[in-house]
Structure 1
Amino acid sequence: MTDITAHPLQEITLDQQVALHTAATRLAEEFDGIYGTETIERFLQTSHDQFATAASIANFLPLLAERFARQRLRALARVEGHHRDGRPVVLFLCTHNAGRSQMALGFFTHLAGDQAIAWSGGSEPGIEVSPSATAAMTERGIDISEEFPKPWTDEVVRAADVVVTMGCGDLCLIFPGTRYENWTVDDPAGLDLADVRPIRDEIERRVRRLLDELNVPATR
């Protein structure tokens, strides 16, 4: 197996090496018959590299790399026609993937259940999801504390039926046949909980409207 743990900017512990190799094995089993070892390892390596310089998540690096690689591989499988189940896919994008897009993702997955798929990403991913955004969503019974800021990638954008942007400007990749929406929503970065609540509520209204337009009944 290729050494998927080498990275020039961060020491990789033995435990992390073991965890990454275990992740590669799990992904290979999950995508058996769709993608081979070389593709699995390449996606895990590049996903690992996306987070390797963020010191605050060092202990969770193998888990984040595996989760991100899995999302990207599922997106690629949709793009290449290996997996199509008829469910709409929505991608929420903002600058840091630390507030608006995470709250939108939280509402969408909470309300849609397994009737649709949602992902999120940022043009300049932050280090952690905004604590105020997390607290505001907790008030609504939605836990986004285990989410993490991440970039968007070519295959993730291409796999989406709808791309919702919130403040990421002209950086978003444009693909023919994809529906794009721009939501003008204030950035919760640096705001306290009281100031984030109106932003949260506006995002919920927009998510509910989007679900209705996609003919996906809200489960709550």
Structure 2
Amino acid sequence: MTQNIETIRELSIDQRLALKTAATQLLTEFGDMFGVETIERFLHSSYDQFAGRATVVNFLPLLAERFARQRLRALAKVEGKSDNGLPTVLFLCTHNAGRSQMAMGFFEHLAGDNAVAWSGGSEPGISVNSEAVAAMAERGIDISHEYPKPWTDEVVRAADVVITMGCGDACPVFPGRRYEEWVLADPAGLDVDAIRPIRDDIERRVRALLEELDVTVAA
């Protein structure tokens, strides 16, 4: 595997083993579309995206694998190597810790297997807002397993619709995408009571978006 020396020195034996296992798994999934170097490059660059701000380093290989898998799926769609034909929506906000995570949670819950949702942030936070997690749990939707992540070129290019929420000029713009700005209050620092109206507004917008995309609601 190719990786810079400084990063390799910082990895424990368990982390190196976990990354090697992740690379093997990704190669099994994507080896018919991409070469080993591409897959490892995406895995290691995904690892680097989280390494600088992670508080629990033991989870870094798992996060890197999950993010690399999403990016490789996006790249496969962009390059015409794999496309399930499902509408793909990308939700973007600043920290990918509140609004975009709630929107993706509603979208996945309502769309089921009939559409694809991703999320990202221009300045990803450390963790998903715990109060937002609690507010979504009231609606029976668990977003506690999600994690803040950046947007990448291939993910944006693979999206059919890009929903932005307060990231302003930092949000990426590529031709051929449908862009829509949702003006929503930032739930950062708010308690569950204050987040509920934001949550409900997001749900209404997601339902309207699904209707516009002619996606059958599964729930």
Q: Same fold (TM over 0.5)?
A: yes
TM bucket normalised to smaller: over 0.9
CA separation in 1, counterparts of 2:118 and 2:128? 15
Read off the aligned partner of 2:105 and give its amino acid letter: G
Q: Would you say the 8 A contact 1:9–1:52 is kept in 2?
A: no
CA separation in 2, counterparts of 1:185 and 1:207? 13
Deviation at 1:173, TM superposition (A): 1.8
CA separation in 1, counterparts of 2:29 and 2:176? 29
CA separation in 2, counterparts of 1:195 and 1:131? 13
In the TM superposition, 1:51-200 aligns within 5 A as 51-200=50-199
1:137 and 1:7, CA in 2 relative to 1: closer, same or farther beyond 3 A? farther
Any idea what the Cα deviations from partners look like across 1:71-113, whole Å, max 9, x if unmatched?
A: 0000000000011121000000000000000000000000000
Between 1:100-109 and 1:52-61, the stretch displaced more is 52-61
CA separation in 2, counterparts of 1:217 and 1:58? 39
Read off the aligned partner of 1:15 and give its amino acid letter: D
TM-score in terms of structure 2 length: 0.97
Deviation at 1:11, TM superposition (A): 2.5
SS in 2 for 1:43: helix
SS in 2 for 1:147: coil
Read off the aligned partner of 2:201 and give its amino acid letter: E
1:9 and 1:182, CA in 2 relative to 1: closer, same or farther beyond 3 A? farther
Given the alignment of the two structures, is residue 23 of structure 1 paired with residue 48 of structure 2, yes or no? no
Deviation at 1:32, TM superposition (A): 1.8
Identity value in percent: 68
TM-score in terms of structure 1 length: 0.96
CA separation in 2, counterparts of 1:5 and 1:48? 12
CA separation in 1, counterparts of 2:143 and 2:25? 24
SS in 1 for 2:119: strand
Any idea what the Cα deviations from partners look like across 1:145-200, whole Å, max 9, x if unmatched?
A: 01000000000000000000000001122122110000001000010010011100
Given the alignment of the two structures, is residue 45 of structure 1 paired with residue 44 of structure 2, yes or no? yes
**Coordinate RMSD, CA, aligned:** 1.4
SS in 1 for 2:17: helix
- Structure 1 portions without partners, runs of 5+: none
1:196 and 1:11, CA in 2 relative to 1: closer, same or farther beyond 3 A? same
Any idea what the Cα deviations from partners look like across 1:195-216, whole Å, max 9, x if unmatched?
A: 0111000000000000000000
Runs of 4+ in 1 over 6 A off after TM superposition: none
Deviation at 1:54, TM superposition (A): 2.1
SS in 2 for 1:111: helix
CA separation in 2, counterparts of 1:40 and 1:217? 34
- Counterpart position of 1:219: 218
CA separation in 1, counterparts of 2:109 and 2:212? 17
